[in-house]
């Protein structure tokens, strides 16, 4: 089955810094989603981005499907950005809606 | 106006018991899912239903049985609970069974004593 690898596994930032999180996947995908799990455990859908670039406030994401990777950019980080960021993909030809999750990047933003 | 709501939020019970977790969504979606997040935060899909019909049934013990009375509800019943069932269980929903954004509930933390 498809492999989803996220890097880095851990990231510590000072408030105000920018960061880039990466998601590599081993095969073609139908869709790719980025999620943020906050310190209270809630999973928030940040982007549905099978290809191209999207922006939402200080966050933006880019997926280059032909090269099998996606990037999540966080600018001017805030302490509320802390948590775990997950990339999840739906394998091309796989069961529709079957999201395969990476192991996540744990982000800690210090004041 | 919670979009995807799960009950209970916490569930502490003894090994061997039977328990249920309920999920409801008011987003008008027709596909719902159950995911399990283990102690290392790894998320894995268990089941999905589209319009009350089972679509995805991953390798999950028969002790787990999902039930969808209508497209807005997907419940999870677990028989003969084991220590390894301790985890956080998330319900999610999306519009259509194809490639669409999935929206998650707040999770149910199940602890087996």
The pLDDT value recorded for residue A104 is 98
Interface test with A, best of B3, B35, B37, B41 (most A CBs within 10 A): B41
Gyration radius of chain B's alpha carbons = 13
Cα→Cα distances A16→A2, A20, A81, Å: 35, 14, 11
Are B68 and B32 spatial neighbours (Cβ–Cβ below 8 Å)? yes
Mean of all residue pLDDT scores within chain A: 95
Q: How far apart are CA A32 and CA B60, in angstroms?
A: 24
Token pair, residue B110, equals 């199940």
Among the listed ranges A54-63, A97-106, B49-58, which one has the minimum average pLDDT value? B49-58
Q: How far apart are CA B49 and CA B59, in angstroms?
A: 15
- Walk me through the domains of chain B, giving residue ranges and CATH numbers: 4-97+104-112 (2.60.40.10)
pLDDT, tens digit, for every residue of B53-76?
A: 888 888 889 999 999 999 999 999
Measured CA angle at A87 (ends A64, B49), to 5 deg: 110
Of the candidates B61, B99, B96, B59, the one whose C-alpha atom is nearest the C-alpha of residue B77 is B61
Residue B1 — pLDDT band, cuts 50, 70, 90? low
Sign (positive/negative) of CA torsion A41, A103, A32, A7? Answer: positive
The pLDDT value recorded for residue B98 is 67
Structurally, how many domains does chain A consist of? Answer: 1
Mean of all residue pLDDT scores within chain B: 93
The pLDDT value recorded for residue B31 is 92
Provide, as residue numbers in chain B, all residues whose Cβ is less than 8 Å from the Cβ of A33: 101-102
B60 versus B2: the higher-pLDDT residue is B60
Instruction: Supply the range of the domain harboring residue A93.
Output: 4-110
Choose among A43, A90, A97: nearest Cβ to B104.
A43
DSSP B55-98: EEE-S--TTEEEEEEETTEEEEEE-S--GGG-EEEEEEEESSSS
Q: Does B13 touch chain A (CB under 8 A)?
A: no
pLDDT for residue A91 is more than 90: no
Q: How far apart are CA B54 and CA B33, in angstroms?
A: 10
The pLDDT value recorded for residue B110 is 97
B73 versus B52: the higher-pLDDT residue is B73
Q: How far apart are CA B36 and CA B108, in angstroms?
A: 10
Q: How far apart are CA A50 and CA A31, in angstroms?
A: 4
Provide, as residue numbers in chain A, all residues whose Cβ is less than 8 Å from the Cβ of B101: 33, 45, 48
Q: Which residue of A has its CA nearest to B108?
A: A41
The pLDDT value recorded for residue A93 is 79
Which CATH number fits the domain that encloses residue A35?
A: 2.60.40.10
pLDDT, tens digit, for every residue of A57-86?
A: 999 999 999 999 999 999 999 999 999 999
pLDDT, tens digit, for every residue of B82-94?
A: 999 999 999 999 9
The pLDDT value recorded for residue B96 is 76
pLDDT, tens digit, for every residue of A19-29?
A: 999 999 999 99
pLDDT, tens digit, for every residue of A12-48?
A: 999 999 999 999 999 999 899 999 999 999 999 999 9
The pLDDT value recorded for residue A102 is 97
Measured CA angle at A50 (ends B99, B105), to 5 deg: 55
End-to-end CA gap in chain B: 34
């Amino acid at each position: 089955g498809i492999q989803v690898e996220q890097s880095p596994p851990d990231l510590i930032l000072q408030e105000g810094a920018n960061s880039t999180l990466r998601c590599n996947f081993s095969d073609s995908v139908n869709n790719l989603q980025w999620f943020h799990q906050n310190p209270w455990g809630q999973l928030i859908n940040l982007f549905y981005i099978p290809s191209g670039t999207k922006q939402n406030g200080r966050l933006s994401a880019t997926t280059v499907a032909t090269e099998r990777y996606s990037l999540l950019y966080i600018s001017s980080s805030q302490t509320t950005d802390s948590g775990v960021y997950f990339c999840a993909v739906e394998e091309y030809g796989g069961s529709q809606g079957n999201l395969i999750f990476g192991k996540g990047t744990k982000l800690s933003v210090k004041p | 106006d919670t979009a995807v709501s799960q009950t209970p939020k916490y569930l502490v019970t003894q090994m061997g018991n039977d328990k249920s977790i309920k999920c409801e969504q008011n987003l008008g979606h027709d596909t719902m899912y159950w995911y399990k997040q283990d102690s290392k935060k790894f998320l894995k899909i268990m089941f999905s239903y589209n319009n009350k019909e089972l679509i995805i049934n991953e390798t999950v013990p028969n002790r787990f049985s999902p039930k969808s009375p209508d497209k807005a509800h997907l419940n999870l019943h677990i028989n003969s609970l084991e220590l390894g069932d301790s985890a956080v269980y998330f319900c999610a929903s999306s519009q259509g069974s194809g490639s669409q954004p999935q929206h998650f509930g707040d999770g149910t933390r199940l602890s087996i004593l």
